[in-house]
Amino acid sequence: MCFSFVSDFQKHILIPFTLLLFFSPYGFSLEQGLPKANSTEITIEQFEIRPLICITQMLGNNCELKIKLNWRSNIDSDYCVYQETRLIKCWKNARQGQHKETLTIIKNTSFSLRLEGNQVILAQQNIKINYTHSDTHRRRLRSQWSIF
C-alpha cells in the first residue's frame, strides 16, 4: 500500500509540478543570472582615469596633471566624458574610447561618462588633490619651557 502511495504521489503531484516548473514562463531557468544576447541595457565594463591623485604645494595652488582616460561598454552608442559639467570629449557610434589630456584643476573634481545629450551618469571617477604643505600647524605636544 505504501508503494502505491509513492507511485500516486509521483503521477499526480511530482511529475506535473516538474513539468510546470520547467515549461512555465515564470518557472526556474538555468540562465536567470546571465545577460541576454539581445539586451539593450548599457553596461560600462571599464571606466578608468589615471592618475587619481594630483599633488600640489599648498591649498589654492593650481594642480596640473596629464590624464589617461579609457572606457569600454557593451553596446555601440554616442558617449561623452565630462569634467563636472564641462564636456571633455565625445565618441560617435563607439563601444570603447581613449583620451589623453593635460588638465589644470584647483579642487577635487569628478569625471563622468554619459550618453550624448543625456545627463544620466553611466560611470564616474574622482581626482583628489593632495597638498605637500598643510595650511594648519600642528600643536606642540610639550611646553617650550620643559627640560625633558
pLDDT digits (tens, 9 = 90+) for 137-146: 566 666 667 6
* Entry pTM: 0.63
Predicted local confidence at residue 139, as pLDDT = 61
Predicted local confidence at residue 25, as pLDDT = 45
Q: What is the DSSP letter of 36?
A: P
Residue closest to 99 by CA, chosen among 34, 40, 46, 49: 49
Buried b (16+ CB within 10 A) or exposed e, 65-74: bebebebebe
Q: Chain-centre distance of CA 146, in angstroms?
A: 54
Q: Which residues contact 121 (CB under 8 A, 6 or more apart)?
A: 112, 113, 114
Long-range contacts of 124-129 (CB under 8 A, 24+ apart): 124/47, 125/47, 125/48, 125/49, 125/52, 126/52, 127/49, 127/51, 127/52, 127/53, 127/54, 127/65, 127/67, 128/52, 128/53, 128/54, 129/53, 129/54, 129/55, 129/56, 129/63, 129/105
Predicted local confidence at residue 134, as pLDDT = 65
- Write out residues in the chain with pLDDT < 70, as ranges: 1-39, 134-144, 146-148
